[in-house]
Chain A
């Protein structure tokens, strides 16, 4: 597994500083994967649009320009940036509450326009930053502070599958769901993220990568148990794999 070393080496696009993330949180891993992909693609002047969510401070952890959007509006802000600076790599980094609840309109329309941006969607099945409320991706039966007896599909519906939803649109060029709960999956996640950024660099159009992620703090699990829960509960509902790759 010599490749695994690559995943964890320091990347020039990452800042040398500690993140504020909880132990076992995968936001930091996803940051690293983006940073490494940018390094490997030789991109030094990417612009990240930060979400409102635990990753709001992403611009403090990566050596790139950052623009902080209002909650859910990152794809619209990214659109504005990209339409002005069409030769810069623009990344919209969003959580599940941000992307699928308040920002669903912006998400669908940016995808439908085929904006030449890369959307990295970190799905941890909960509202992390606000302290563990139910998200559009919260699993059936999952207990949160606003679904204290567990998510009940009869009342609030079933979790939304973002990749499948976006896959109904014509314009996106790349749609993939990956996970980052163990080494092997992190490698696949890295590949997908790099591909999604390369597409943008080559002017191909809208790429969407959903990363299944953990929130041990609000799931009330240890980091180890959180990885297991992701694998046992989330992956069966959110199948991993590529949904679209125009070159395929």
Chain B
């Protein structure tokens, strides 16, 4: 027990980034993720790193672009409105195949919205909020421990595939404190021959004027990486599915509510379990399809008007009915509402 520390999600993520060797953090204040820059402003100088409070989220992501082009591990974090501003930079990072980690402690939207946790940024995260033909790896933790573990792993994934890795958390997770065992660094080493400043006259750029032998070719290079990620990086959790009649599908905070609803439904004799995607891109389509075999129905639960449900439908492709329950605007579904919906299937 002794190595467990009660940590706020935001702080656990920040410390995990430092353990991963991230020494450059650039960010801008926004609730509910302020503990990340605040923690970094104190901790990074202690470990010889650099913290800059940028003048905007746009500046912050471009500072990351600069730091990452030297091969250094760097990151930024924000919440929904700020992540919108980072989309331009993310597109440029993706084009130049620069690795970095971006944490979104998302909140209610659209617009200024509110500061409560929300899952309204699924489309933005998984469909590429910026312009052009690119992908980012999207990881969706559901508790503080997983937030720390995935943040650490995100740096390895970013370096391995030279991609932007987005952690999609939410305000509840960022603000929540839970016991955390800080993860150990993997120790993996990555080749960074492409970086500037290592005497190779490297270029980090994304302007490729010619379609035929230029940009189109580059797009296929990216596609090859994305295909590889799709086969190699799929994470999900199955819970109580073996004998289940109904499958709940949810990620992040809403999966936690589902877990509670499952316990209560099973007490009432209704067999239900869940499938929790942890990588939202790549989405575990095949695994969800397999898990849904023999079930009567899927209920997708989100803190939104229904975004991931589109991927769920793609996964099962009409083979079983997919229902949706969601609540937008920074509200969290109650277990009772989920229970009531499932009971209505009986």
A residues sitting closer than 8 Å to B (CB atoms) are 52, 56, 68, 70-72, 97, 101-102, 104, 127, 129-131, 133-134, 136, 145-148, 156
Contact = CB atoms under 8 A, between A and B. Distances in A.
A130 B55 contact: no
Nearest to A134: B53
B34 A70 contact: no
A68 B112 contact: yes
Contacts of B52: 156
Interface in B23-62: 28-31, 34, 37-38, 41-42, 51-53, 55-57
Nearest to A72: B56
Nearest to B41: A146
Given A97-B29, A130-B30, A146 B53 contact: yes
B34 A136 contact: no
A71 B82 CA distance: 9
A98 B34 CA distance: 17
B112 A147 contact: no
5 contacts: A70-B81, A127-B29, A131-B34, A145-B34, A156-B52
Interface string B109-124: 0011000000000000
A52 B112 contact: yes
Given A131-B34, A133-B34, A147 B41 contact: yes
Interface of B: 28-31, 34, 37-38, 41-42, 51-53, 55-57, 81, 111-112
Nearest to A131: B34
A71 to B, nearest CB: 7
A105 B214 CA distance: 34
Nearest to B58: A102
Nearest to B82: A71
Contact of B56 (A56, A101, A130, A148): A101
Nearest to B52: A156
A102 B31 contact: no
B53 A148 contact: no
A72 B42 CA distance: 27
Closest 8 CB pairs of A and B: A102-B56, A130-B29, A133-B29, A146-B41, A101-B55, A145-B38, A146-B53, A127-B29
A136 B56 CA distance: 11
A136 B42 CA distance: 19
B55 A104 contact: yes
Given A70-B81, A72-B56, A102-B28, A146 B112 contact: no
Given A70-B81, A71-B81, A102-B56, A133 B37 contact: yes
A129 B42 CA distance: 21
B154 to A, nearest CB: 23
B275 to A, nearest CB: 37
A156 B53 contact: yes
A130 B79 CA distance: 12
B62 to A, nearest CB: 13
Contacts of B38: 133, 145-146, 148
Given A70-B81, A101-B55, A133-B38, 14 more contacts: A52-B112, A71-B81, A72-B56, A102-B28, A102-B55, A129-B31, A130-B34, A133-B29, A134-B53, A146-B37, A146-B38, A147-B41, A148-B38, A156-B53
Contact of A148 (B30, B31, B42): B42
A97 to B, nearest CB: 7
Contacts of A101: 28, 55-56
Contacts of A134: 53
A58 to B, nearest CB: 14
B141 to A, nearest CB: 23
Nearest to A103: B56
Tell me which of A72, A101, A136 has the highest count of chain B C-beta atoms within 10 A of its own C-beta. A101
Contacts of B112: 52, 56, 68, 70
A36 to B, nearest CB: 28
Contacts of B30: 130
A130 B53 contact: no
B31 A130 contact: yes
B248 to A, nearest CB: 35
A72 B56 CA distance: 9
